């Protein structure tokens, strides 16, 4: 089965201390996610970065502080997880990576059947992107220790919802790396 990894919103405006929408727990997942991406590149699994990228006047700023404005430093992926040659970047303006973007076309063109979801926030952009992937017929895997939220309650609740409603497979990065490396 052809699969890819989605890396959602691992951006400066969410991760850096003092950032407009700082999610401190997001920093905790960086080392494991970095390792997972290294293994995925080695196993030739496509990596798709799904990144918040707002217009100056974005409607979302009526409910959230201004963040990830297109072209700004804050909208960049953090240094430790920088996209590499061959990785794909899809920019989004809403919670779901599919809404108003070409993510579905990208996945279809790559022949993807299963998406492995990582990044933040488990209960917002991860959840809504996973839901939209499910509704388009993709199988969903969520990496428990490569996703994070503002609290562990919200993180766990979202994982549960994805497991129950989207039939998502919830795995650890260690389990997943074993799978990726044994298949290739």
Beta carbon nearer to Zn ion, 52 or 132? 52
Residue 64's closest CA among 150, 157, 130? 150
Residue 125's closest CA among 4, 7, 5? 7
Residue of closest CB approach to Zn ion: 52
Beta carbon nearer to Zn ion, 107 or 121? 121
Does position 9 bind Zn ion by CB under 5 A?
no
What Å distances lie between residue 176 and 10, 100, 140, 182, CA to CA?
Answer: 20, 30, 13, 10
Beta partners for residue 51, in sequence order? 91
CB of residue 139 to Zn ion, shortest distance in Å? 26
Q: What is the DSSP string of 59-84?
A: GGGGTS----BTTSGGGSBPGGG---
CB of residue 54 to Zn ion, shortest distance in Å? 6
CB of residue 77 to Zn ion, shortest distance in Å? 15
Beta carbon nearer to Zn ion, 31 or 64? 64
CB of residue 181 to Zn ion, shortest distance in Å? 34
Rounded-to-integer distance, Cα 146 and Cα 86, Å: 21
CB of residue 123 to Zn ion, shortest distance in Å? 14
Does position 52 bind Zn ion by CB under 5 A?
yes
| Segment interacting with Zn ion, rule: CB under 5 A, options 34-42, 51-59, 111-119, 146-154 | 51-59
Residue 173's closest CA among 130, 142, 147, 143? 143
| Segment interacting with Zn ion, rule: CB under 5 A, options 33-41, 48-56, 72-80, 128-136 | 48-56
Q: What is the DSSP string of 146-174?
A: EEE-SSHHHHHHHHHHHHHHS-PEEE-HH
Beta carbon nearer to Zn ion, 31 or 65? 65
| Segment interacting with Zn ion, rule: CB under 5 A, options 47-55, 72-80, 82-90, 157-165 | 47-55
Q: Which residues bind Zn ion (CB under 5 A)?
A: 52
């Amino acid at each position: 089965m052809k699969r890819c990894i989605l890396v959602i919103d691992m951006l400066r405006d969410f991760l850096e201390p003092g950032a407009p929408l700082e999610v401190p727990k997001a920093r905790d997942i960086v080392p494991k996610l970095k390792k997972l991406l290294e293994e995925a590149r080695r196993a030739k699994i496509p990596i798709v970065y799904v990144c918040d990228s707002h217009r100056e006047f974005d409607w979302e700023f009526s409910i959230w502080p201004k963040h990830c404005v297109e072209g700004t430093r804050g909208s960049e992926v953090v240094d430790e997880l920088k996209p590499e040659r061959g990785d794909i970047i899809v920019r989004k303006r809403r919670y779901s990576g599919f809404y108003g973007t070409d993510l579905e076309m990208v996945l279809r063109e790559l022949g993807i059947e299963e998406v492995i979801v990582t990044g933040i926030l488990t209960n917002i952009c991860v959840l809504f992107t996973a839901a939209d992937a499910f509704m388009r017929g993709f199988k969903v895997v969520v990496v428990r220790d490569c996703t994070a939220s503002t609290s562990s309650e919200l993180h766990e609740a979202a994982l549960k919802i994805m497991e129950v409603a989207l039939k998502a497979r919830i795995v650890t990065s260690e389990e997943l790396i074993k799978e990726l490396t044994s298949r290739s």
